[in-house]
Structure 1
Amino acid sequence: MMENYFNDLVLNNDTNFYLGTGNPSSKILIIGKESAIDKISNYEQYEREILNNALDWKKNIEDNIHQDSVTSWFIDYPLYNPLYPYKGQLNKIQNKRTGNNGGTSRTFYNYQKLLDKIYNENRKSSNINFHEKCFITELNSSTAKYSHLVNTIDRKNSINNRQELLTHPYYQSFPIVLFAVGNYVRDFNIDIQKLFNVKFDAETGTLPITKTNYINLHYDDITNPSRLVIHTNQLSINISDLLLNELSQYIREHLELI
């Protein structure tokens, strides 16, 4: 079913919206704020990761490409593929000054920490491999090096358009959605219950983890849930291990139910 939904999403994506990266058949969908790409100074990366995303997915379907056939990014002539972006990255934060230590962004590093807690008994993987266990997309496909530099009109228009995209049966079919967009819910009046057809867990309510980290739990059926939507911080900077531990616990518990 997931594969059919995804194929429909890709092949009928007439607007060529950015769709996401990772394993389309996984059980976890992570939705972030936006990619941190300076499309002026690094247009090549913007084109590779954002503009070509839908076309790359169409090619993957047409050529029947799977994750195990994606080659390492660190070969002589790397080919980018949204199935497994930058395959072979080391599980460490990229050196911002030199950019050549084989590491990754802080957000991807935190995604890996979370998935290691969920699937690897909290053992640190040597490489960034979370794309094998989840699918990643963004609430906003307009990018800049830093969030505050994103054009405000472009961001608002993108979020409005992409909320409609997220109602596609593919995104709605994930049993676990990690809506890691922080204050964008407030700033852009996003109704999580309506968007994902879930109910806020009023009994548990908002779980304050630290002064700045929190978790909001939503279920399709609070008494007998088959779907969990978690609204939390953007998993980039100032993210505590306490938050990642709590997130992993709720996700693991839900995985056991489905």
Structure 2
Amino acid sequence: MYTEKFIDLVEKSNINSKNFYSNILNIEEPNPYYIGYGNPNSKILILGKEKGFDKSNLLQLKYESIDNPMQWKYYTDNLFPMNTKKFYENTNYVNVFIPYRGKQKSGHTWTKYSILNKLIFSTKNEEYQDFFKTSFISEINYKPSKLSNIKNFKDEKRIEFLKHSYFKSFKVIILACGDYLNSVKIQEIFNVKLCENKSKSREKLVVYKNNNFILINARQLSMDVKNEYLERISEIVKHYM
């Protein structure tokens, strides 16, 4: 049900999380070992910039960041399949498979992911949350922020985490973080080589490859991203699926 690579990632994330939060100064800090959401057995991995909320919202920080590895361990240890049963009571948050129900605003990142998913799989009547069933999503930067202020991400703890073999076990990786990682760092983390640059003005689209998967470095998928740009991304994805 869960791959050995994913189980290993979950185990290591939990061990590292416990060590991190054993320091009282880190109790209300985001989790550097946050894993992600969605279907861990899918063929598509989407890595965004960071979560778009204020880390002073401690309840949201707990559900979406601090407890994320622990939640995954609960599901992997008990071999629970993907479901929509709430992990916590009395909250809008659902679980690590599908964290929230209902549509987001048109410019929200998850709305763009949903549109991209429809384009890749040529579906019209799917539910908004269906992209969680066909992909796994995480973030380059584990620190949530309403505004992206980082131009070159250099957090070595997180970068080392992203080098885990699980993140290289997908058929397609969509690195939707713009220039957060430069080309040298992308090739180092994901063991890929630059293939071609299809970028246009304000539409970054750089393709990397190795023998097992392709990686598409795109801009952050939110706000004024046009459907035409998402279509271009989807065509590349479909070619390699």
Q: Structure 2 length as normaliser, TM-score?
A: 0.84
Distance between the aligned counterparts of 2:233 and 2:91, measured in 1? Answer: 38
Q: Which runs of 4+ in 1 moved over 3 A?
A: 75-79
Q: Is structure 2 residue 143 aligned with structure 1 residue 142? A: yes
* Aligned pair partner of 2:233 in 242, 247, 250: 247
Any conservation in 2 of the 1:214–1:243 contact (CA below 8 Å)? no
Distance between the aligned counterparts of 1:79 and 1:110, measured in 2? Answer: 20
Q: Is structure 2 residue 55 aligned with structure 1 residue 39? A: yes
Q: Is structure 2 residue 67 aligned with structure 1 residue 52? A: yes
Instruction: For residue 76 of structure 1, report the CA deviation from its aligned partner.
Output: 6.9
Equivalent position amino acid for 2:6 in 1: F
Instruction: For residue 72 of structure 1, report the CA deviation from its aligned partner.
Output: 6.8
> What residue in structure 2 maps to residue 164 of structure 1?
160
> What residue in structure 1 maps to residue 221 of structure 2?
235
Any conservation in 2 of the 1:71–1:79 contact (CA below 8 Å)? no
> Cα gap change, 1:71/1:168 in structure 2, threshold over 3 Å: closer, same or farther?
same
Query: Secondary structure of the equivalent of 2:53?
Result: coil
> What residue in structure 1 maps to residue 205 of structure 2?
215
Any conservation in 2 of the 1:180–1:233 contact (CA below 8 Å)? yes
> What residue in structure 1 maps to residue 118 of structure 2?
116
> Cα gap change, 1:81/1:175 in structure 2, threshold over 3 Å: closer, same or farther?
same
> Cα gap change, 1:78/1:237 in structure 2, threshold over 3 Å: closer, same or farther?
closer
> What residue in structure 1 maps to residue 41 of structure 2?
25
Distance between the aligned counterparts of 1:248 and 1:156, measured in 2? Answer: 26
> Cα gap change, 1:156/1:3 in structure 2, threshold over 3 Å: closer, same or farther?
same
Listed as ranges, the gaps of 5+ residues in structure 2 are 18-32
Any conservation in 1 of the 2:153–2:181 contact (CA below 8 Å)? no
- Please give the per-residue CA displacement for 1:114-157, whole angstroms capped at 9, x wherever unaligned: 001111x1525343221100111111111122223x8x9xx956
- Please give the per-residue CA displacement for 1:87-132, whole angstroms capped at 9, x wherever unaligned: x323x517xxxxxxxxxx710000000001111x152534322110
Alpha-carbon RMSD across the aligned residues, in angstroms, is 2.5
Mean CA deviation greater in 7-16 or 128-137: 7-16
Listed as ranges, the gaps of 5+ residues in structure 1 are 95-104
Instruction: For residue 243 of structure 1, report the CA deviation from its aligned partner.
Output: 1.3
Equivalent position amino acid for 1:26 in 2: S
Distance between the aligned counterparts of 2:226 and 2:156, measured in 1? Answer: 30
1:172-211 aligned within 5 A? 172-186=168-182, 191-201=185-195, 205-209=196-200, 211=201
1:51-70 aligned within 5 A? 51-67=66-82, 69-70=83-84
Any conservation in 2 of the 1:117–1:245 contact (CA below 8 Å)? yes
Equivalent position amino acid for 2:194 in 1: F
Query: Secondary structure of the equivalent of 2:138?
Result: strand
Instruction: For residue 192 of structure 1, report the CA deviation from its aligned partner.
Output: 1.4
Distance between the aligned counterparts of 1:245 and 1:169, measured in 2? Answer: 29
> What residue in structure 1 maps to residue 24 of structure 2?
none
Equivalent position amino acid for 1:107 in 2: T
Equivalent position amino acid for 2:199 in 1: P
Instruction: For residue 63 of structure 1, report the CA deviation from its aligned partner.
Output: 2.5
Equivalent position amino acid for 1:143 in 2: P
